[in-house]
């Protein structure tokens, strides 16, 4: 009997307004304070389950990549609030500055990630984590050292992405914890294809999301998410210095214990910008059908796409995305 053909969902190019969403609301914290202090303050509101051995999943960037979360912010956070934590990464699927463990270690040095331990989780092989309720996968291959951590802090630079439309927390762990040879191939490439990037649009979003679900389920209560909406190029940090210039205004930092709520709020804040300010990033999300990440997370019951947005700059007032972005200024590079 022929294997049943798996059909991807649809609608990844369609933005669902808040009033058309259903279900419970999660809490998402917001600050406009794009600084080490802002990061530390917002993290303190979502860190209560960060116990035991803590991994920080961070995109540490290609050599000299310009748009990653500023290293001094991360250093201050770790030294003050997470002194025993380890930054965790995996090798890349493509040949570049982080393809092998030795190249990756060299790139980490060039980019200055030398103030705390960095664990390349797939340096010594892989482990398979179960994907519960997935349609593409029953398990996903991760860097095996993921098993050494009790808690995971997912610290994400939110931006556009060539393949995913946008890269938020879902991509940071869905691609970023999968090992560089097996797991990432399962997400990106049809077996036997000569094009390593042949899986795209809804099918790609769903595969990546199932991988993220394996990570979220593995850590259970002991996972938390912070998205930094700054230097939001339409390109990923993995493009390093070749990334397209940034045009989207900087917005702030979002944090939640709910992966769907934090990525949905990030997308909502971008959509809440003026047409001129969000045109490039919205076009990137929609043309790549990236919004399927959000609807599929909801289908997999990974979280809520409705949330209360708590403005920690103004006495924890509940605000709308429009209020969060009303005072943004046109983007300019910091020198």
Helices vs strands, H then E, count in the chain:
10, 13
Helix boundaries (H) for the chain: 36-43, 71-81, 101-110, 169-174, 183-188, 201-219, 259-272, 275-287, 292-299, 321-325
How many other CB atoms sit within 10 Å of the CB of residue 318? 11
Q: In the structure encoding, which two tokens stand for residue 194, read together?
A: 């000569």
CATH no., domain 21-325: 3.40.50
What is the structure's pLDDT at 170?
Answer: 98
Q: What is the pTM of this model?
A: 0.96
The reported pLDDT for the residue numbered 102 is 96
Tell me what pLDDT residue 239 has.
63
pLDDT (tens place) for every residue of the chain, 335 residues total:
556 799 999 999 999 999 999 999 999 999 999 999 999 999 999 999 999 999 999 999 888 887 899 999 999 999 999 999 999 999 999 999 999 999 999 999 999 999 999 999 999 999 999 999 999 999 999 999 999 999 999 999 999 998 999 999 999 999 999 999 999 999 999 999 999 999 999 999 999 999 999 999 999 999 999 999 999 988 766 666 666 677 899 999 999 999 999 999 999 999 999 999 999 999 999 999 999 999 999 999 999 999 999 999 999 999 999 999 999 998 876 64
Specify the pLDDT at position 67. 82
**Rounded-to-integer distance, Cα 195 and Cα 180, Å:** 16
Quote the pLDDT of residue 330: 87
Q: Supply 176's token pair.
A: 């970023």
Tell me the two tokens of residue 90.
């995996």
């Amino acid at each position: 009997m022929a294997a049943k053909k798996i059909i991807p969902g649809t609608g990844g190019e369609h933005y669902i307004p808040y009033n058309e969403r259903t279900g419970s609301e999660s809490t998402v914290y917001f600050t406009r304070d794009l600084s080490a202090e802002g990061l530390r303050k917002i993290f303190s509101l979502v860190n209560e389950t960060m116990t035991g051995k803590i991994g920080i999943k961070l995109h540490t960037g290609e050599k000299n990549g310009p748009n990653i979360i500023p290293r001094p912010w991360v250093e201050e956070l770790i030294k003050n609030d997470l002194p025993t934590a380890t930054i965790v990464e995996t090798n890349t699927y493509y040949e570049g500055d982080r393809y092998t463990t030795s190249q990756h270690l060299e790139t980490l040095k060039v980019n200055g990630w030398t103030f705390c331990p960095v664990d390349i989780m797939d340096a010594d092989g892989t482990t398979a984590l179960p994907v519960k309720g997935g349609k593409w996968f029953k398990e996903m291959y991760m860097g095996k050292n993921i098993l050494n951590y009790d808690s995971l802090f997912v610290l994400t630079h939110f931006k556009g992405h060539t393949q995913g439309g946008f890269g938020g927390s879902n991509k940071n762990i869905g691609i970023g914890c999968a090992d560089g040879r097996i797991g990432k191939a399962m997400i990106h490439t049809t077996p036997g294809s000569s094009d390593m990037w042949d899986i795209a649009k809804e099918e790609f979003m769903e595969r990546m999301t199932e991988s993220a679900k394996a990570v979220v389920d593995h850590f259970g209560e002991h996972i938390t998410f912070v998205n930094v909406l700054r230097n939001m190029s339409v390109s990923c940090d993995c493009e390093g210095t070749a990334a397209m210039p940034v045009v989207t205004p900087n917005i702030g930092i979002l944090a939640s214990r709910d992966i769907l709520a934090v990525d949905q709020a990030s997308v909502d804040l971008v959509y809440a910008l003026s047409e001129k300010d969000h045109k490039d990033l919205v076009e990137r999300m929609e043309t790549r059908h990236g919004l399927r990440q959000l609807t599929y997370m909801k289908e997999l019951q990974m979280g809520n796409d409705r949330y209360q947005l708590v403005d920690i700059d103004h006495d924890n007032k509940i605000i709308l995305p429009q209020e969060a972005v009303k005072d943004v200024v046109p983007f300019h590079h910091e020198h």
